[in-house]
Amino acid sequence: MKIPVTTLLLIMMAFHESSSGIPIKKRNCDEICPENFVDFLGHCYQYFGKETTWSEAEENCKHYEGHLASVPSAEVNNFIISLIKKSNGNTLAATWLGGYNTVKDGTFMWTDGSKFGFQHWNENQPDNYGGYEHCVHIIGGNTGVWNDLSCSTKLAYVCAI
């Protein structure tokens, strides 16, 4: 039996369609954020009120295929402040961000690998108080300025995808 080429092509296309019907996960501005994450400037953010150490917080963010939030601009810092307040009874809780520094030379970095450019430190910070403050958080009850703190301190945190 001779099957016309066009029929064969249609069958192949149909098979291809059904075998690749699983949508590929994309992360761009058009994508809807996962449940409980809020979209802002192309990233998805969630506040977690359960206080954990900085590294535990980063690990939890990785479960969502994200990282602790990096802050590239005042705009994003302001958004994170409003997200914390909205999620926490209008109170700005002390909250881990993805900033950390290398113990060796003190250079700050973000866990998502983005450039540590914009900085919003509180006055006289970072001070590496006692020589063991290597993680960055937003100071609670304040204006959203940052402090370096011991990474083993347990704080709320914000993940970004």
Give contact residues for Ca ion (rule: CB under 5 A): 125, 127, 129, 133, 147-148
Query: Measured at CB, which residue is nearest to Ca ion?
Result: 148
Indicate the helix (H) or strand (E) that contains 80.
Answer: helix 74-87
**Closest distance between Ca ion and the C-beta of residue 59, in Å?**
23
119 Cβ neighbours under 8 A, 6+ residues apart: 108, 146
* Structure tokens belonging to residue 51: 């206080």
CA distance 134 to 123: 17
CA distance 20 to 71: 37
Whose Cβ is closer to Ca ion: residue 15's or residue 129's?
129
Whose Cβ is closer to Ca ion: residue 75's or residue 127's?
127
**Closest distance between Ca ion and the C-beta of residue 23, in Å?**
44
Whose Cβ is closer to Ca ion: residue 40's or residue 108's?
108
Whose Cβ is closer to Ca ion: residue 58's or residue 148's?
148
Please provide the DSSP assignment of 99-137 as one string. Answer: EEE-TTT--EEETT--------BPTT----GGG---EEE
**Closest distance between Ca ion and the C-beta of residue 110, in Å?**
18
